[in-house]
Structure 1
Amino acid sequence: MSLSKLAACKQAQPGLLCFQPGLAPDTFYGTKDKVVFVMGATGTGKSRLAIDLATQFPAEIINSDKIQVHRGLEVLTNKVTEAECRGVPHHLLGVIEPDSDFTADDFCSHVLMAIESILGRGRLPIIAGGSNSFIDALVNGNPEFQSRYECCFLWVDVSMPVLQSFVSERVDKMVELGLVGEVRNIYDPKADNSRGIRRAIGVTEMVEYLSIEASTTLDVETKARVLKMAIDEIKKNTCALASRQLQKIHRLNDIWDRKMQRLDATEVFVKRGAEANEVWEMVVAGPSTMIVYGFLYDKNPIARAITPDTSSAGAIATAAVSIPMAAMTH
């Protein structure tokens, strides 16, 4: 890679591999257009990985979370913030009316249009989100998609006990960021919580507390106890969701002849701070970049570390380069 092309790598992160930017889809290997999927249970870092990849390749992200597709409840639904997007365009994120239904057929229709739009701009579509039923409908049940696109499936996996502990901490963080106020703003005792964004975990669980919150006959201790029960229920139901998502991923992996590229991020969630970020680059972001490069160009990637090999980031990049070519196949 020339020095000019290396310098042109946009938003390069320490420890990530840097490839030639701006390569249009017609330079990709193969007869079909390419689509990358980033999958995993809730809380495993799918959005983070998708954004990491989109800063290494000319790419845009399509959301495949059936709740995040709706407007509103940004904290409760854990939508990525503008800062977290790092300038990467996102599609199907917060664009549907809160009370509107959005079916798997709707998803397939919107995604096919988004893919063509992204490809038309010479960029790579990356589909990321936790609604595996939507991905199942698109990949296994949509003949148009099957005939036109070749897929690479990345699976970010985390040991369930470790993930459940993280999910519990994340719910507490959401409460600090205003979860209760968000749900209060849409609370309607007559509303149908089985429609639209009201299906989100955290809405129904808060109903009992919100129904007594303004009561003048109940003491503060009782209200606090009911609120804690609601938060505990949110944690329990989110952990149950993660378990169901993981089961679905295993089923899809079997259907796809185990072609998913599994990335074990458990160690990332055990660490904290800068150490966790370094492990993420080594075991998730770096290997994923190599896998996607091999998928797109069907060749050994020519890569350079952004920092000298004597640094921790350089060591991470070196470790990623050592991935066997067998791990780069579709």
Structure 2
Amino acid sequence: MTISRVMCRPTQPLKNVPSSGQKQNLRQKQKVVLVVGATGTGKSRLSIDLATCFPAEIINSDKMQVYEGLDIVTNKIPKEEQRGVPHHLLGTQNRNSEFTAADFCDKASLAIESITNREKLPIIVGGSNSYIEALVEKFGPRYDWCCLWVDVSMPVLHSYLTRRVDVMRECGMVNELRHFYSPNGDYTRGIRRAIGVPEFDSYFRREAVSDRETRQRLLREAVCEVKRNTCELACKQLGRIHRLRSLKGWNIHRFCATPVFQNHAQDANHAWKNIVAHPSATVVAQFLNNANVASAAGHTLLPSTHTPHVS
């Protein structure tokens, strides 16, 4: 089982979504959909659901997933789960390079232009809100933006994220990290900034010279630190989204996915479709058809009464 399957992504695309006229509107006006949320909330899942409903391509805006390598640690969506949807800026950058917000804006703008020139919809997805914020500030006036937020209550999300780290470990996280370990590694540049790399430094540094009991202790400590830092990251990402709404004045459609994480198997898939996927697709369809739907550039927001609100 891959890491991404922990999200219980449905294997079938959405159906019966109102999307008439979308191609004509894409020709008339350049529009972009943003999908934001804390790590682990289902942003990639939603972006692919949407891209199977509309003529769309996905642009990754996750700071660590832009780099090549560490697919398990950075939780890149596997090729077989992308459902044939083209992905841009996913594992394309040299692992040792420094990919800044300015670099992202340059490459993402080229991808947006390429996608819209082919009469398709760019969907930008990722937890690195600083990248998305920089892009909107730089290119916002040139496009219409519709921003979707997949939210999960923090206690529920933290429980899921700790389990996800355990699944990552079962899928080979430690061996994957071992190949990236360097005694002189710089944890301030490139993919080595990813959660998991610095946390395992002490374990790999002392692994060869420690007894079995010490190695097990160091491993437990490293895994616990990864879990703790991942949960802290989720809190920071949530805070940035609230800042975009309150201080920046972004109009954002919030979809609460908490019930998805509180159910299992088919019940979770059913909840996802009913409270996240289908309502999001309806909002995007209205956005493409020039209905009264909000964008991050400041248009009027339709009330999001179709989703439950969980704090």
Structure 1 partner of 2:25? 27
Q: Does 1:201 align with 2:191?
A: no
1:50 and 2:44 matched: no
Match of 1:151 in 2: 145
Question: How far apart, CA to CA, are the structure 2 residues paired with 1:297 and 1:281?
Answer: 22
Q: Which residue in 2 is equivalent to 1:163?
A: 157
Quote the offset at 1:282 in angstroms.
0.5
Alpha-carbon separation, structure 2, partners of 1:51 and 1:108: 22
> Is 1:79–2:76 an aligned residue pair?
yes
C-alpha spacing 1:12/1:276, structure 2 compared with 1 (3 Å): closer
Instruction: After TM superposition, list the pairs within 5 Å mapping 1:247-262 onto structure 2.
Output: 247-262=239-254
The percent identity for this pair of structures is 52
- Which one is further off, 76-85 or 218-227? 218-227
Deviation at 1:13, TM superposition (A): 3.3
1:61 is the counterpart of 2:58: yes
Deviation track 1:45-69 (CA, whole Å, cap 9, x = no partner) reads: 0000000000000000000001100
Residue 213 (structure 1) shift: 1.5
Moved more, 206-215 or 288-297: 206-215
Counterparts of 1:270 and 1:151 in 2: how far apart (Å)?
A: 31
Q: Cα offset for 1:257?
A: 3.0
2:298 aligns to what?
none
Q: Is the 8 A contact 2:57 2:121 kept in 1?
A: yes
- Closer, same or farther in 2 for the Cα pair 1:207/1:263, shift >3 Å? same
**Would the alpha carbon gap of residues 54 and 185 (structure 1) be closer, same or farther in structure 2, given more than 3 Å must change?**
same
- CA deviation profile, 1:191-248 (whole Å, cap 9, x unmatched): 1111100000000000111112222xx3211110110000000000000000000000
CA gap of 1:293–1:256, structure 2 versus 1, over 3 A, is farther
1:32-55 per-position Cα deviation (integer Å, ceiling 9, x unaligned) = 410000000000000000000000
Helix, strand or coil at the partner of 1:290:
helix
Cα shift at 1:253: 1.3
Secondary structure in 1 aligned to 2:35? Answer: strand
Q: CA 1:222 to 1:245, structure 2 compared with 1: closer, same or farther past 3 Å? A: same
Structure 1 residue 281 and structure 2 residue 262: aligned?
no
Q: Unpaired runs of 5+ in structure 2?
A: 1-9, 293-300, 306-311
Contact 1:16 1:281 survives alignment (8 Å)? no
Partner of residue 290 from structure 1, selected from 276, 282, 290? 282
> CA-to-partner distance for each residue in 1:124-153, whole Å, 9 max, x for gaps?
00000000011111112x1xx122101000
Contact 2:36 2:43 in 1 (8 A): yes
Q: Is the 8 A contact 1:46 1:156 kept in 2?
A: yes
Cα pair 1:36 1:125 within 8 Å, conserved: yes
User: How many residues are treated as equivalent by the alignment?
Assistant: 289
Contact 2:62 2:128 (C-alpha < 8 Å) held by counterparts: yes
How far the C-alpha of 1:255 sits from its partner, in A, is 3.7
Task: Quote the Cα distance in structure 2 between the aligned partners of 1:276 and 1:299.
Answer: 30
Counterpart for residue 306 of structure 1: none
Quick one: which amino acid aligns to residue 181 of structure 1?
N
1:185 positional shift: 0.4
Q: TM-score, normalised by structure 2?
A: 0.88
Q: Deviations over 1:147-194 (max 9, x none)?
A: 210100000000000000000000000000111011100110111111
Which one-letter code corresponds to 1:187 in the other structure? Answer: Y
8 Å contact kept, 2:22–2:288: no
The amino acid across from 1:239 in the alignment is: C
The answer to whether 1:102 aligns with 2:99 is: yes
Q: Is the 8 A contact 1:17 1:286 kept in 2?
A: no
RMSD: 2.2
Amino acid at match of 1:165: S
Structure 1 stretch displaced more, 13-22 or 262-271? 13-22
* Cα distance in 1, alignment partners of residues 14 and 141 from structure 2: 37
